[in-house]
Structure formats: structure tokens, C-alpha cells
A and B are shown apart, each in its own frame.
Chain A
């Protein structure tokens, strides 16, 4: 390469860019992560949009959250009023707050679909176990963040939800009570609780952001799984940019259409009316319910008559995901090729929704009975069905490569 010639042809901007890239290859880094240098299977379907979407919603939440924090006052006597001031007097405050409050719900919708996609297509299996683990950790931190965020408006559900959930830790023998006092910063949910929840609610999204980096890094070691769940050769891969970037941009468009429809025409649809009543430690609401995205776990908690066992089951229902790569004994990743497992998988999804309904009802009568049956199925699915079906089932024959089916689908 005759450097003299080419360097005179290059513009000054090009040379400045190359000078900088030689010292800190920032653009190359992005290009390797989500650009032309990341080869992805050509047959990814629209369920693969939800990872990118989750990252998008995270950024949306941080941006709206930072603006809200500029106008919010984390004090028990002023928090509720400051939120109302945002709604009434801050320019576009109503929009920012409704985007943030509903953004939390949509974050969970997106992440649940993302997790179910991983479960269905066996994305947790070797060599993607660590990628899966980091995903579960992100989900756990998300739950903590959303829980503390819900406390900040200091409405009745904020206060009593915080009281119920923090009290769960008191079920731990011996050290339970001191832990709860430590969490509260006192002897009840009070101003110190609100202060620390605000501090942590501001911190944890950035922890999630860092975890997302690890998640994407762990993704890039083995590369993306695909709907067929088979190993993919270079011939069947296409560069992430422009193929999946444009597909993700389209996905964001569809997502925002649904999201904005709720933000602008049903902004309180997913919230509890009681949270528009200021927190009152002397008045316990007759029916304390957490936000919808916790309801299945709330149902598991209440399905078990013993408090400690209930708490263990509730946390266990999420922690079990960590060992899913080993509970699933099948060598086939994608449930598309697993006729028996597939049926029980969809049952599991329906089961989760029914659990959510149970969680929203008072724990008595039919909802309690149904909740217990569904809790049983929840654990049966992971601890019995997953390993047993993996051994017994005869999977359908896998295609040798994705070339032919992918081409067929494209035609």
C-alpha cells in the first residue's frame, strides 16, 4: 500500500478519525458489538427483537428518570406533593412521569417476552449459560429497582407495598427482624426508608447498564442462538448492521406505537388508584397488591401457608432459573423440534398468567386453590418435567444447516 498516495486522498476528517481510532477504537468497538463486524444467524425471528428493545427501554427509563429526579423531593411530607407538582406545573412533567411509570410496566413486558424466548429456544444451553445467568441477575436487579421506584410517589400502595415486601425478610430465622430494621433504617417504613430507596433507585439502573454490557459481551463469545437452535456456520450468518439494526428500528417503532397508546390514552390503566392517595401509616388498605409484574410471585408466596416456606418458594421460583441449563436434559435447544416439551412449555406460560390473576385476588376460596395448583405446576415444570421430558422425548430431526429453511421462509 503506497501510504503517501492514499493519505493525500483521504480527507482531513478521515485522517483525524483514524488517528483517534488508533488510540481509542471506540467506533470499531461499537461496530464489533452491534455493527457490521458482528455476524448473526440469518434466520432470527421477531422474538429476537426484544433484547435490543429491553436495552432501548432501559435508556428511556434512565432519561425520563433523571429529569424526574430533578423535580422530585424524597421526603415523606413532600414526596407526594412534589409528584403532583410534576404532573401539574412542570413543563411536560405529566408526559415524563407517565412515560416513566408506564415504561416500568413495558420494561417488564419486554423482558418477560425476552426471557420466554430464551426458554423456548433453549438459549440458556451450552455454551450460553453465563449469558443466561447475567440475564437473570439483570432481572433480579430490575425487580429491586422497580419495587423501590414504586415506593417513591409515597402513595398508599407505595407505603403498604413497601411494608409488606420488606417484612418478608422478617421470615428469616434469628436475623430476620434485625435485617428488616436495617432495611427500613428504623422501626417502620418511614422517611429514612424513602431516602435510601430513592438513592438506590437512582443507582441500580446504572448497575443494570453495566450488567447489560456484560450480557452483550457474554453474547458475543458464542454468538446469537437462533430459532432452529443449531450451530450456524459463517455462510448462514449476516452482519448485524444493517440487517438487524434496521429490523430493531422497525421493532422499536411497533413497540412505541403500543407504548404511546397507553401513555397517552390509558396512563393509569396499569397502576393502582390507591396510589393517588397519600401514604397513611394509620390506614391499612383492605387489599394490598403489588404491581402486576410481581403478581405471579406474590401468588406463589401466598399459596404456601407457612411464611418462611412461602418466602423461600417465592425467591426459589426465580432462582431456579439459574440451574435451568442443567435441569433441561435435552440435547436439542429449540422447542420447535421438541413436540412433547413444547406443549408443557405453553402450559407453563398460561400457568404463569393464571398465577398473576391469583396474585391480584384475595388469598381465599378459588384464587387460593388455583394459586396452589399453579404453584405446584410451576415447580413441577422445572424440577420434574424439564429433566424427565429431556430424557424420554424423541425430538424431531434437526436440519443440517439453516440455509434451506431460512431461504424457504424468505420466499
Chain B
């Protein structure tokens, strides 16, 4: 038994050591409470719907969301008719029966469109910076959703003595860019009017859009958690049975 514990401890130690290697951060990012955290974590459907509204009304003018299709919005609790109507608000280039360029209305199978025709156009319209695609942003930054939340609310006056470049803003969480970010402060109280009547404080808007972006990056999170619970339950029973069987078989040696 001692050796089991020792071997298991060795595995755990090595696993946690390897995890801690990446824990180093340059700026401390406070941990936030998210409905999708933890063993049973789930998305809050209404929060995701509000987050979608924030993305659409604020972020989408500069940021694409290229891996998310309108059909995926079913996961936010919308029905087919709502998704069709949502998609139809967008236009996509098409070719008509005569072979001429035309436009068609968006379909549920379409993906969120890129606000810019190409990268150069995007940079020219954004003070030289390229607004990143947001589909994976919540997984593509150290600190994940906690970082996103604090980044979009982390605008303040630069510390004394620091000159911020023209067109840039000071952001205390943007350590990767020397605290100077090309995105100007976007989120303010009542910047959106929520369809569900939720009071649109800065904090609320930032939380909602962060939750939405985490869903966009990890749409299978709920399936992962629920499958995981069933797998773990199975593995616990399996391992216990294996342990008792092992003891029983090894007991033959004592005779």
C-alpha cells in the first residue's frame, strides 16, 4: 500500500510540477467566478445571449469570429427560426445564375463574417494594428477568461512619467504590449441595452462578453464536463473492483 501511495504521489507530483511551470505570470490576474468553472461548470444561457449581443454591437465592428457559425448559436438557447432570422441579417457574396457577382442573405451554415475584406484594410482602419479573431481568444492568452475580463476593463490613466504613443491606450493588464494597447476603451456603463432587461454596468457587460467568448473558444465544455463525470464514475468503480480483485488473487500466495 505504501508503494501505491508513493507511486501515485510521484505521478501527481510530476503532473503538478509540470503544470506549475506555466503558472508564472508577469502581471497578477485576479481569478474571477465563472459559471463554467469547476467540476460541474455550465454556461449560463442568458449570459451567453447577452454576450452575443455585446459582441454583435460592440466587438464585431473590428473583430471577426471566424470559427463560429450561426447554427452554433443553438447552444445559446435559440431556436431554428431565431437563428435563421439572425443569419439573414448578414450578407454574403454570391454568384447568380448568369455568373455575375451578387449578394445573398446569410444562412445558419454561414460563419460570422470578417468585418474587413483583408488584413491591410484592417490595419489601415485600426491605426496599424490588426484586431485578432476572437474565436479562440479565451484559450489563446495566458489567464484565459480572467485575463480577458480584466483586459477589457483594465483601462486607466497611465502612471506618472509614462508617455503613451499616439492612438494607443494605457491598459494595466496588457503586459505583452508594454501596457499600450491599440484598442481604445470600449466598454462603459449602458453601452448596450440588454434585451432581457439586465442592468448594463461595465462589469456586467465585460462578464457577459467574456463568457460568450469562452463559449466560442470551448463550445464543447458542457459535453466535456458531463462526459467526464460519467467516465470518472466508471473509472472509480473499475479501479475499486480491480483493487479488490488484485488483493484476492494475491491472497493465494499467503496459503
Contact surface of A with B, Cβ cutoff 8 Å:
42, 45-47, 49-50, 81, 84, 87-88, 94-95, 98, 105-106, 109-110, 112-113, 238, 242-243, 246-247, 249-258, 260-270, 272-274, 276-277, 286, 292-293, 295, 353, 356-357, 360-361, 410
Contacts and interface: CB of A to CB of B under 8 A. Distances in A.
Contacts of B132: 277
Interface of B: 3-4, 6-8, 10-12, 14-15, 17-19, 21-22, 24, 39, 67, 72, 132, 135-136, 139-142, 144, 176, 217, 219-220, 223-225, 227-228, 231-232, 235-236, 238-239, 242-243, 245-246, 249-250, 253-254
Nearest to A277: B140
Nearest to B238: A253
A147 B14 CA distance: 20
A269 B18 CA distance: 9
Contacts, number: 138
10 contacts: A47-B6, A94-B220, A98-B224, A106-B15, A109-B18, A110-B11, A242-B249, A257-B239, A264-B225, A286-B176
Nearest to A258: B11
B120 to A, nearest CB: 13
Contact of B7 (A46, A105, A265, A353): A46
Contacts of A266: 19
A238 B253 contact: yes
Given A49-B7, A50-B7, 8 more contacts: A46-B3, A84-B67, A84-B136, A106-B15, A109-B18, A113-B11, A266-B19, A273-B140
A273 B17 contact: no
Nearest to A260: B231
Given A109-B14, A250-B243, A265 B225 contact: yes
Contacts of B4: 46, 254
Given A46-B3, A88-B220, A250-B246, A261 B232 contact: yes
A255 B242 contact: no
Given A46-B4, A353-B17, A410-B253, A109 B220 contact: no
Contacts of B17: 353, 356
A42 B249 contact: no
Contacts of A84: 67, 135-136
The secondary structure that dominates the A interface is: helix
B209 to A, nearest CB: 18
A406 to B, nearest CB: 9
Nearest to B16: A269
A81 B6 CA distance: 42
A257 B39 CA distance: 14
Sorted nearest first, the 10 A-B pairs with minimum C-beta distance are A264-B228, A253-B239, A276-B140, A46-B7, A45-B3, A250-B242, A292-B18, A94-B220, A46-B3, A360-B21
